Amino acid sequence: YPRALQASKVFLSGRDVDEQYDYIIVGGGTAGLTVADRLTEDGKNTVLVVEYGELSNSPLISTVQGGFMGMSDSQFLYDIQSVPQKNLQNRSIAVLAGKVVGGSSAVNAMMTVRGTAADYDRWGNFFGANSHWSWDGLLPYFKRALNFAPPDAAVTESAEITYDTSFWGNTSGVYAGWPSFQYPGTTAQMDAFRGIPGVPFVKDSGSGEPGVYWYPTFMDPTLVERSYARTGHHDKAANRTNYHLVAGSKVLKVVLDGTTATGVSFVPVGSKKDTPQTVVSARKEVIVAAGGIHSPQILQLSGIGPRELLSSANITTVVDLPGVGQNFQDHPIIQATFTYRKFTYRPTSQDLFLNATFSAWADTVWAANRTGPNSLATGNAAAWLPFPVISPRSADISSALAAQNHTLYLPADTDPTVAAGYRAQMLSYASALKENSTAFYNLVLTGGATNGIVVDLHPLSRGTVNIDVSDPYNKEPLVDYRALSNPMDVDIMTDLIKFTRRYHLDNPMTKEWAATELSPGASTQTDAQFADYLAETLSPSEFHPAGTCAMMPRELGGVVDEELKVYGVQGLRVVDAATMATLVGGNTCQTVYAIAEKAADLIRFGPPTVVE
Ligand SMILES: Cc1cc2nc3c(=O)[nH]c(=O)nc-3n(C[C@H](O)[C@H](O)[C@H](O)COP(=O)(O)OP(=O)(O)OC[C@H]3O[C@@H](n4cnc5c(N)ncnc54)[C@H](O)[C@@H]3O)c2cc1C
């Protein structure tokens, strides 16, 4: 083996693992590595992480410039296409999820944001008023999860960046850093929201409030490289003798003795069908952290899931848990592209390609001390706005959603408990749509003359992630977004586009930039035209798969309880994005870190006796 790997106890083969560990973690991704680090830090527990992907030192992962390098190499991503989307003209969509030590935190776009306080309170409210899942209950874990390194004084002043360190911590190995450069148009585009009455401006992205704000980048401020679960947790744990990680290994299932999880079985990735499985046992617990797409697959393969699905795959049902793989959500991306004819702010990111002097300067300062435009990932400013600010008919949409027969929009054979959970979610959203505490709209600001990405932060449609019964252990699961299956998503998204139009075309603060609408285009005006446009162009994924092992009461179709323990099974938890009952109004990575930090405390100390 390469010496570095040997020294760091990263095993390349299942042969080298011990027979037994206190904890086995399935998936060395964002959540899995965070939990593994915390469980091994006091030296009292032994932990094995089993990860499908390899340990990679590729510069494509560490490079921050542009923010998209990590996802540019298919070796770091699963190869999954969604089932054709009926409401999207039968298009299939690429399902992106990280397949490398670090998981999706190794390939993501490094946008570091939280949802609003209301998003986290909503999770707890499904359990009742006293749940420790709430904004207040999670804030200490957000602080533990990331190490906030403020932007330098010069860029703070020139770009008018605001922040408030009281919402952040400074102990984690995972950094929330800042580039040393911002394009001047970004500040102007933020400011232009002042032309629309009611738009809130927020001092810090971590305050739990919706509004227009600056947010950091998952970046090590000293190295100016991606900071992620591998660098911040794995590398820290790797010299501990009680931490082992086996890479390139696919967990097939959780081994159960009756209804108690006793271990996992895995094979080397790419091995033949009859390759003997390695079985390792867990003294204390198995923790499934394989992400929103693969955690439900692993539970189903282990006999935990909807009985009918399992029997059609010839898998014996150990626990009939109808919610496993249901309630699937992701943030849909809407194209609403505008370009300015008279945008005077220079430079823009385009100048890196068009202006030789600027690009030479960018290269020089980067080479000298890793500063300048090449330290920028995807940008650091966006609007995250509540629906009453967006839509003049928010009250009507809210009432219509409350009055809906929600079950009609789920698959026909949906279990009544899952349907009840969906109804609870929709009623919660019906309230949120008429209040100013939940963000529904996201516009990312580029600082350039062309802007086009609008995100629906709380889609109503729910999909499924189920094992492929034709060859469940070898094929990827069937991912069905069921995009636009709740027709009210079309109404909401139509209003998100109309608001984007208003920002660009009917706003005293953007008027002089002389915007032209490239898409959908001025000819899209009627409800039917908007519906057609969405069917043609909507992407149902911002690569934030969630909800498939929801933390909800069992009678609401939940898969895990408030301690993230799988219902009906002893010694088994799920800790990752799959447990989010409802998506948060923000990119999901920071929330996954916070969930994992909280989970580590739940595992070590049990539930809090006093709500934090
Ligand atoms: C391309 C892309 C861009 C994104 N951009 C952003 C962004 O800018 N900001 C943001 O906040 N969020 C972003 N996200 C989302 C965010 O990164 C994820 O929500 C988060 O990292 C998910 O963490 P997780 O622990 O749930 O899963 P992951 O981090 O994906 O970890 C799951 C791990 O389990 C492993 N695994 C799966 N199946 C098995 C098996 N059978 N055996 C062994 N191991 C297995 C996987 O290989 C993976 O390493 C992005 C995601 C992607 C994919």
pLDDT of amino acid 9:
59
Handedness of CA 239, 108, 552, 325 (dihedral sign): negative
Closest CA to 364 of 356, 249, 471: 356
Task: Report the nearest-CA residue for atom 3 of ligand 1.
Answer: 108
Q: Is 269 annotated as a binding residue?
A: no
Read off the tokens for 33: 């590595």
Rg (CA), the chain: 23
pLDDT of amino acid 338:
97
Q: Is the peptide bond before 411 cis (omega within 30 degrees of 0)?
A: no
Of ligand 1's atoms, which has the minimum distance to the CA of residue 576? 26
Give 68 Cα–ligand 1 centroid separation in angstroms: 15
Of ligand 1's atoms, which has the minimum distance to the CA of residue 98? 30
Q: Please report which helix (H) or strand (E) contains residue 47, including its range.
A: strand 47-50
Beta strands in 104-181 (DSSP E): 147-148, 175-176
Q: How far is CA 36 from CA 13, 42, 561, in A?
A: 19, 11, 21
168's CB contacts (< 8 A; 6+ apart) are: 142, 143, 146, 148, 176, 206
Give 347 Cα–ligand 1 centroid separation in angstroms: 34
Report the C-alpha gap between 559 and 555 in whole angstroms. Answer: 10
Which position has the token pair 């799959």? Answer: 578
Of ligand 1's atoms, which has the minimum distance to the CA of residue 53? 47
pLDDT of amino acid 4:
39
Give start and end residues of each alpha helix (H) in 79-134: 117-125
Give 35 Cα–ligand 1 centroid separation in angstroms: 14
Handedness of CA 412, 417, 423, 426 (dihedral sign): negative
Is-contact 27 250, C-beta < 8 A? no
Whether the predicted interface score ipTM is above 0.95: yes
Which DSSP string do the residues of 267-327 spell out, in sequence order? Answer: EETT--TTPPPEEEEEEEEEEE--HHHHHHHHHHHTTEE-HHHHHHTT---SEE-TTTT-S
Q: Beta partners for 100?
A: 54
Number of CB atoms found within 10 A of residue 188's CB: 17
Of ligand 1's atoms, which has the minimum distance to the CA of residue 71? 1
Give 586 Cα–ligand 1 centroid separation in angstroms: 15
**pTM exceeds 0.80 for this model:** yes
Residue of 331, 442, 589, 595 best suited for mutating to test ligand 1, as the one with most atoms within 8 Å of CB: 589
The CA-based angle 523-525-528, given to 5 degrees, is: 110
Residue ranges of the chain with pLDDT lower than 50? 1-8, 611-612
Residues near ligand 1 (Cβ within 6 A): 26-32, 50-53, 71, 96-99, 103-105, 107-111, 250-251, 289-292, 294, 298, 543-544, 576-577, 587-590, 592
Q: Please report which helix (H) or strand (E) contains residue 603, including its range.
A: helix 589-605
Q: Is 251 annotated as a binding residue?
A: yes
Number of CB atoms found within 10 A of residue 218's CB: 27
Give 102 Cα–ligand 1 centroid separation in angstroms: 8
pLDDT digits (tens, 9 = 90+) for 103-132: 999 999 999 999 999 999 999 999 998 999
Number of CB atoms found within 10 A of residue 83's CB: 16
Closest CA to 199 of 186, 214, 187, 212: 212
Closest CA to 501 of 530, 538, 459: 530
Report the C-alpha gap between 238 and 14 in whole angstroms. Answer: 17
pLDDT of amino acid 69:
87
Of ligand 1's atoms, which has the minimum distance to the CA of residue 587? 11
Closest CA to 204 of 156, 158, 154, 167: 167
pLDDT digits (tens, 9 = 90+) for 516-537: 999 999 999 999 999 999 999 9
Report the C-alpha gap between 306 and 319 in whole angstroms. Answer: 8
**Share of the chain residues as helix, strand and coil, in percent rounded to the nearest 5:** 35, 20, 45
Report the C-alpha gap between 392 and 353 in whole angstroms. Answer: 41
pLDDT of amino acid 6:
43
Q: Is the peptide bond before 347 cis (omega within 30 degrees of 0)?
A: yes
Read off the tokens for 265: 């079985």
Give 112 Cα–ligand 1 centroid separation in angstroms: 14
Give 396 Cα–ligand 1 centroid separation in angstroms: 37
Task: Report the nearest-CA residue for atom 1 of ligand 1.
Answer: 108
Cα atoms found within 13 Å of the Cα of residue 81, Cβ hemisphere only: 6
Report the C-alpha gap between 602 and 596 in whole angstroms. Answer: 10
Residue of 108, 286, 376, 467 best suited for mutating to test ligand 1, as the one with most atoms within 8 Å of CB: 108
Which DSSP string do the residues of 556-591 spell out, in sequence order? Answer: GT-SB-TT-BBTT-BSEEE-SGGG-SS--SS-SHHH
Report the C-alpha gap between 312 and 316 in whole angstroms. Answer: 10
Closest CA to 593 of 25, 29, 34, 24: 34
Which position has the token pair 């082992």? Answer: 244
Q: What is the mean pLDDT of the chain?
A: 96
